[in-house]
Amino acid sequence: MVIKPEQTILIACQNDDFTESLSMALSKEGYKIVSVRSGDEAVHIIDRQQINMALVEDTLKGKSGMDVLDYCQSLALTFPVIMIARDPSIEKAVMAVKKGAANYVALDATTSPKLITELVKEVFLSKNSELTNANSSNEITDEVSQIEKFEGLVGVGPAMKKLYKLINRVAQSDVTVLITGESGTGKELVAQAIHRRSNRRDKPFVPINCGAIPEELLESEFFGHEKGAFSGAIRTKIGRFELANGGTIFLDEIGEMKLPLQVKLLRFLQEHKFERVGGLKTIEVDVRVIAATNKDLWKAVQEGSFREDLFYRLNVVPLYVPPLRERKEDIPLLVENFLERYASISEDGSEKKKLTPEVMECFMEYSWPGNVRELENIIKRLIILSDGNEITVKDLPERLRPSKKEKLLDSSFAKLPETGLDLKKMLEDLERKFIQQALERTGGVKNQAAKLLGLNRTTLIEKMKKLGMDLSYKPAD
């Protein structure tokens, strides 16, 4: 879907320098910009002009960013509002989404105008997709087969296109979804995409990492607690399930959850009811549950560390996010996306850096055990540490560089003819050449030469015999 950028964006921000930079970036994309410095001015503009999107700082003078959100909600205004947070927190993010914010962006040193510009495009794309969704689900399916970016996910390969289509399908219902895949593949992005494409898009998306919170505190994080429920509970706390009412809760690393809490989660999935820790009142909420894990949950069931009935409750619709090594055709697109997103963190931040073809070859050969997250971190590192506007092989971490053996093979193959190749003879000549080089380097000492070649002495002698080499070979003086 092509976004038509003849739209007006209101920027309400107290930082004049940031506003100016952001205005320039958005203007280059064809958007019309109106900027103000206070919440009162923002409301004044909203009352009198046609606005297609608002970017609102949370700590505005007069009316705060939250007040502006409240005003938009009270008038049932439909344009998206992105909250720009100078003092971010989970609680404020949840509150902003509850009040109708399309997104909540923490403003820090890495938050560039380019990053927010990309977010603006994604929000407009999502808004347009919602309209398309209301008119024709078939059109969305056609759209998915063409796009390179989908709700923050990046990829054009068959695995990602299949994933996009599945996201569109499951988003239209309230079924529980289990997202599986290795660490760093983007499982939370998939969960967010499902939420944004669903009828719950205007309600909160509340994530919680089950593996990052101590076991004794996780139930309180889930369901909240009453004042005095345990030592340190000095006030009543609302849990994540209650905060997510009407929206979606994302349970990341669900495989880390211990058996006692699994029982309580199972009950919630069955009844959508719970009690706060230390409380007697039963609370009922309307929440869609999306879970994710990098573990083999079925294996955990067989081992007795995960309940079988809970597994089936969660695994109503399974979604698999492929590792990067299974979709290497997407690496160039991901690299370009990260280079553009993080251009501003370089020393001058004036121009997007480029990769030499050799670096891209290294990227395509590497197995990426850390998946997309590892690639993203590598790109950020290269942008910061590389000199000039070009990233070369010498800038790469050692694990990404070609080995010395690969370099030697590359240099040997570079001079081979394109036609009339005798593969067997070529390999014998290469092997003979490598053995000669090893013997020359070690002064003819076969034990040392064999070690240099990764062989034992007996194997080296057998190879020399097979290749017709003189076993008494000595390097020339």
The fraction of the chain above a pLDDT of 90, given in percent, is 35
Global pTM value? 0.57
pLDDT classification of 442: cutoffs 50, 70, 90 = confident
**pLDDT tier, 142 (very low <50, low <70, confident <90, very high otherwise):** very low
**Cα R_g (the chain), whole angstroms:** 29
Torsion of CA 442, 448, 450, 456, to 10 degrees: 170
Tokens 């909540």 belong to which residue? Answer: 104
Residue 473 has pLDDT above 80, yes or no: no
Predicted local confidence at residue 139, as pLDDT: 42
pLDDT at 3 over 50: no
Question: Strand pairing partners for 178?
Answer: 291, 318
When pLDDT is cut at 50, 70 and 90, the band that residue 349 belongs to is: low
Q: Find all residues with CB under 8 Å of 124, minimum gap 6, and list them.
A: 3, 7, 52, 53, 80
Predicted pLDDT of residue 368: 93
Average pLDDT over residues 97-108: 79
Question: Greater confidence, 201 or 86?
Answer: 201
Q: Backbone dihedral region of 165: left (phi > 0), alpha (psi from -120 to 50 degrees) or beta? A: alpha
At 4 the pLDDT is: 45
Residue showing tokens 């808004």: 127
At 172-195, the pLDDT tens digits run 888 899 999 999 999 999 999 999
Report the candidate in 400, 382, 370, 369 with the shortest Cα–Cα distance to residue 338: 382
pLDDT, averaged across the chain: 83
In single-letter form, the type of residue at position 256 comes to: E
Q: Quick count: other Cβ atoms within 10 Å of Cβ 189? A: 17
Q: What is the pLDDT of residue 273?
A: 93
**Could you give phi then psi for residue 116, rounded to 5 degrees?**
-70, -35
Q: Does residue 434 contact residue 411 with C-beta atoms inside 8 Å?
A: no
CA–CA gap between residue 146 and residue 143 (Å, rounded): 5
Q: Tokens standing for 169?
A: 């399908």
- Cα 378 to chain centroid, rounded: 14
Integer Cα distance of 203 and 95 in angstroms: 10
Q: Which domains does the chain have, with CATH numbers?
A: 8-135 (3.40.50.2300), 158-322 (3.40.50.300), 325-402 (1.10.8.60), 421-466 (1.10.10.60)
Residue 2 has pLDDT above 50, yes or no: no
* Nearest residue to 249 (alpha-carbon basis) of 203, 293, 218, 295: 203
Report how far residue 179's alpha carbon sits from residue 292's, in angstroms, rounded to the nearest whole number. 4
* Residue for token pair 């004042």: 227
Summarize pLDDT for 265-323 with one digit per residue, the tens: 999 999 999 999 998 899 999 999 999 999 999 899 999 999 999 999 998 888 999 99
Tell me if 246 sits within 8 A of 286, measured CB to CB: yes
Higher pLDDT pick, 130 / 17? 17
For the cut 70, the answer to whether the pLDDT of residue 134 exceeds it is no
**Mean pLDDT confidence for 6-34:** 89
Q: Which of the two residues, 114 and 200, has the higher pLDDT score?
A: 200
Residues in the chain: 477
Q: What is the rounded distance in angstroms from the CA atom of residue 354 to the CA atom of residue 360? A: 10
Mean pLDDT to the nearest integer, 383-387: 88
Q: Are 3 and 125 in contact (CB under 8 A)?
A: yes
What amino acid occupies position 279?
Answer: G
Nearest C-alpha neighbor of 290 from the set 394, 422, 177: 177
Q: CA of 264: how far to CAs of 142, 209, 283, 302, 314, in Å?
A: 41, 17, 13, 20, 13
Amino acid at 12: A
The SS3 assignment for 343 reads helix
Measured CA distances, 344 to 111, 112, 375 (Å): 9, 6, 18
What is the β-pairing status of strands 53-57 and 177-180? unpaired
Angstrom distance (rounded) from CA 77 to CA 52: 10
The two tokens of residue 218 are: 């996780």
At residue 154, the 3 state secondary structure works out as strand
The H or E element spanning position 94 is helix 90-98
- DSSP string for 254-298: GGG--HHHHHHHHHHHHHSEEE-BT---EEE---EEEEEESS-HH
320 closest CA partner among 144, 138, 175, 167: 167
Q: What is the pLDDT of residues 445-465, one digit of tens each?
A: 888 888 888 888 888 888 888
The residue-averaged pLDDT of 85-100 equals 78
d(CA 18, CA 39): 17
How many alpha carbons lie under 13 Å from residue 146 in its C-beta half-sphere? 7
Encoded tokens for 382: 């290269």
Distance CA 19, CA 113 (A): 9
